[in-house]
């Protein structure tokens, strides 16, 4: 057990120390007041356990299945774009770590490693996350490439009608065009390890975007912002029907926090939902994912699989989500902190920590198998 990285917060602190502030804040920050971002974690903290004792917990099992595929631990790497600002080759390293941990992996449309490269790691279950841009030919091509590369599920992100206002990014000059200030230059210069990796390692790029070469840091920021502006606010159910007809495997909606769209999505043929507020990065004052999870599970009435992301930092959060009906969770920032702290090894630490926390939590609540955890294992408080 590393004494340096005992929990995910330790990795967050190390990432903060290693990365230029603008880059760390891009990962760490959320929209506007960051209220939803804080609420994601606060809502987990309001849920307690109702532990049982004198249960034989000498053998424990945290496996689950996602669309019929076994996962040794109920975790998938969440799709995150522009992640190689934390460490070069971010997705490749994270996919390898996920494979070693028995976790799944979801690749972002805006990843630095290509659909085919990640398929080559053999990590599975392997999902592809789709952003719908104004360039529909590209969007449809992405679906076809993911299908051809053997991705098992398509997750269509639906909570990014427009890029949100991330106020930290603006203050840090992480905007388009990037603002080069003395403070920025000093910020980069005071993180020589990061600068060295950025200049010497494989340059960050958006590998699945047509004709994009390796980029400088400011071009990368600029491109990220430009691509974000390409997100299509006109996306509607008709598009979803088209994607449904084209994609032959399970299709998920990523980014719902309301039951009101569930019935229609099921009618279109959606097979799964990722209850998510984008980690508090899109609509501020959206509810915490864990708060609305039970309603969405009920609305699905076993017609779809339900997943959760946003705010997961502890193995106990994962047990709570499972108890409220999630089949697995996706972790975004937690794994990016691991990358920022120490690359691939940092992501290994994140998985080791979360798996160990799930394991101890199961033992201490007296439920040897995650599949047996239910609402009866929880207690709720309205605050203290
Ligand atoms: C740096 C970063 C980049 C992200 N990029 C994407 C993306 O490209 N596509 C997407 O659907 N979600 C993206 N997300 C949202 C995550 O998939 C996920 O919903 C969120 O991180 C979950 O909250 P958590 O960070 O508290 O775990 C991103 C999140 C972060 C932190």
Q: Does the 8-167+228-380 domain belong in CATH 1.10.260.40? A: no
The pLDDT tens digits for 158-170 are 999 998 889 998 8
What was the pLDDT predicted at 376?
Answer: 98
- What region, left, alpha or beta, does residue 34 occupy, with left being phi > 0 and alpha being psi -120 to 50 degrees? left
Give the pLDDT score at 206.
Answer: 82
Rounded CA gap, 137 and 104, in Å? 28
List, run by run, the mean pLDDT of 10-residue segments along the chain (384 residues).
Answer: 90 97 94 97 98 98 98 98 93 98 97 95 95 91 97 97 89 67 85 90 80 59 71 95 98 98 98 98 98 98 98 98 98 98 98 98 98 97 60
Q: Under DSSP, is residue 33 helix (H, G, I), strand (E, B) or coil?
A: coil
Beta carbons within 10 angstroms of residue 97's beta carbon: 27
Mutate which of 24, 79, 109 for ligand 1? The one with the most ligand atoms within 8 Å of its CB, which is 79
Distance of CA 48 to the CA centre of its chain: 24
Cα 278 to averaged position of ligand 1 atoms, centre (Å): 5
Can you tell me the distance from the alpha carbon of 79 to that of 30, in angstroms, rounded to the nearest whole number? 16
Quickly list H helices, 130-236.
Answer: 136-148, 167-171, 182-189, 192-200, 217-229
User: Do residues 304 and 275 lie in contact, with contact meaning Cβ atoms separated by under 8 Å?
Assistant: no
Best substitution site from 15, 22, 44, 78 to test ligand 1's pocket, by max atoms within 8 Å of Cβ? 78
Q: Where are the domains of the chain?
A: 8-167+228-380
Backbone angles phi, psi at 22, to 5 degrees: -60, -35
Instruction: Name the pTM for this structure.
Output: 0.95
The whole-number pLDDT of residue 183 equals 82
Is 278 marked active-site? yes
Number of other residues whose CB lies within 10 A of the CB of residue 55: 12
Q: What is the pLDDT of residues 331-365, one digit of tens each?
A: 999 999 999 999 999 999 999 999 999 999 999 99
Helices (H), 62-132: 90-101, 115-120
**Alpha carbon distances (Å) from 163 to 82, 117, 233:** 14, 27, 10
Distance in angstroms (rounded) separating the CA atoms of residues 149 and 151: 6
Residue 169 confidence (pLDDT):
87
CB-based pocket (< 6 A), ligand 1: 27, 40, 78-81, 83, 108, 110, 129, 157, 254, 276, 278-279, 281, 309-312, 331-334, 336
Residue-level pLDDT at 177: 52
The DSSP bridge partners found for residue 76 are 104, 330
3-state secondary structure of 42: helix
Query: Atom 8, ligand 1: which residue's CA is nearest?
Result: 81
Contact between 325 and 318 (Cβ < 8 Å): no
Distance 371 CA to ligand 1 centre (A): 27
pLDDT at position 246: 98
């Amino acid at each position: 057990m590393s004494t340096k990285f005992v929990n995910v917060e330790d990795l967050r602190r190390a990432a903060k120390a290693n990365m230029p502030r603008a880059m760390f804040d891009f990962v760490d920050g959320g929209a506007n007041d960051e209220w939803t971002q804080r609420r994601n974690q606060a809502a987990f903290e309001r849920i307690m356990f109702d532990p049982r004792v004198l249960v034989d917990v000498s053998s424990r099992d945290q496996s689950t299945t996602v669309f019929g595929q076994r996962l040794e631990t109920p975790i998938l790497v969440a799709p995150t774009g522009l992640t190689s600002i934390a460490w070069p080759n971010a997705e490749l390293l994270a996919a390898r770590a996920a494979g070693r941990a028995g976790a799944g992996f979801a690749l972002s449309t805006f990843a630095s490693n290509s659909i085919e490269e990640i398929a080559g790691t053999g990590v599975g279950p392997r999902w592809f996350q789709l952003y719908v841009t104004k360039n529909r030919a590209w969007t449809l091509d992405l679906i076809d490439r993911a299908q051809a590369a053997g991705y098992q599920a398509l997750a269509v992100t639906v909570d990014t009608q427009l890029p949100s206002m991330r106020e930290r990014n603006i203050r840090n000059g992480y905007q388009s065009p990037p603002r080069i200030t003395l403070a920025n230059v000093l910020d980069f210069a005071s993180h020589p390890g990061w600068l060295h990796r950025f200049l010497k390692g494989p340059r960050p790029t958006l590998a699945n975007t047509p004709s994009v070469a390796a980029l400088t840091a400011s071009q990368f920021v600029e491109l990220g912002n430009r691509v974000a502006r390409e997100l299509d606010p006109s996306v509607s159910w008709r598009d979803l029907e088209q994607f449904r007809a084209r994609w032959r495997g399970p299709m998920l909606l990523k980014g719902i926090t309301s039951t009101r769209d569930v019935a229609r999505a099921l009618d279109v043929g959606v097979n799964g939902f990722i209850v998510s507020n984008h980690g508090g990065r899109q609509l501020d004052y959206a509810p915490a994912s864990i708060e609305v999870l039970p309603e969405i599970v009920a609305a699905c009435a076993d017609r779809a699989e339900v997943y959760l992301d946003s705010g997961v930092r502890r193995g106990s959060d994962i047990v709570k989500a499972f108890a409220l009906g999630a089949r697995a969770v996706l972790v975004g920032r937690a794994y990016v902190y691991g990358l920022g702290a120490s690359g691939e090894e940092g992501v290994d630490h994140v998985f080791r920590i979360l798996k160990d926390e799930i394991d101890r939590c199961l033992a201490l609540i007296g439920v040897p198998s995650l599949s047996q955890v239910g609402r009866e294992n929880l207690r709720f408080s309205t605050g203290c």
